[in-house]
Amino acid sequence: MKKIIETDKAPKALGPYSQGVVKDNFCFVSMELGIDPQTNKLNNSSIETETKQALLNVENILKKAGFAVGDIVKVTLYIRDLSLFAKINDEYAKFFKEDAPARALVVQAAMPLDANVAVDAVAVKDGISTEEIDYVNR
């Protein structure tokens, strides 16, 4: 059985998808933009701010699901402009201080809301199953 993860500490989905899904000991976080969940607007005053917000959204979805940043095993990083990669990578390195997960980089021409960066993630926890997680009280 899978569990759908929704939190008001990350922006609502922009389409027919879930913020996150937990199945067994995996948590799959959908592509997150740098949208501030309080204002529901893209937080793009700088590429650093936009990147940090996108990563924070991923973290908040994971927390709601009972996972942590340290449980992330795979990230896909989507960027529009390769010339911004160094600044994005610096923020990414601050977020993953040690034991960084595997990562793929996708450079694409356009993203929703004209975003410059987006992040999705897969996290894994050892020794738990979907039925053992209390989603209501998170």
User: What is the full per-residue pLDDT of the chain (138 aa) written as tens digits?
Assistant: 899 999 999 999 889 999 999 999 999 999 999 999 999 999 999 999 999 999 999 999 999 999 999 999 999 999 999 999 999 999 999 999 989 999 999 999 999 999 999 999 999 998 756 566 665 565
- Residue 4 has a pLDDT of 97
Burial class (CB in 10 A: 0-12, 13-18, 19+), 27: buried
Angle at 29 between CA 69 and CA 63, to 5 degrees: 45
Cα dihedral sign, 10-7-66-32: negative
- Residue 22 has a pLDDT of 97
β-bridge pairing 26-33 and 20-23: antiparallel
CATH of the domain at 34: 3.30.1330.40
Global pTM reads 0.90
Evaluate whether residue 136 is within a structural domain: no
CA-to-CA separations, 91 to 52, 83, 87, in angstroms, rounded: 6, 15, 7
CB 73 within 8 A of CB 113: no
| Residue linked to tokens 């650093």 | 48
Q: Quote the tokens at residue 33.
A: 């933009």
- Residue 72 has a pLDDT of 98
Evaluate whether residue 116 is within a structural domain: yes
Domain assignment of residue 83, given as a range: 2-131
pLDDT in tens, 42-60: 999 999 999 999 999 999 9
State the alpha helices, DSSP H only, in the chain: 47-65, 85-95
Evaluate whether residue 68 is within a structural domain: yes
Evaluate whether residue 12 is within a structural domain: yes
Distance, CA of 16 to CA of 27 (rounded, Å):
18
Evaluate whether residue 138 is within a structural domain: no
- Residue 132 has a pLDDT of 61
Evaluate whether residue 137 is within a structural domain: no
Count of the separate structural domains present in the chain: 1
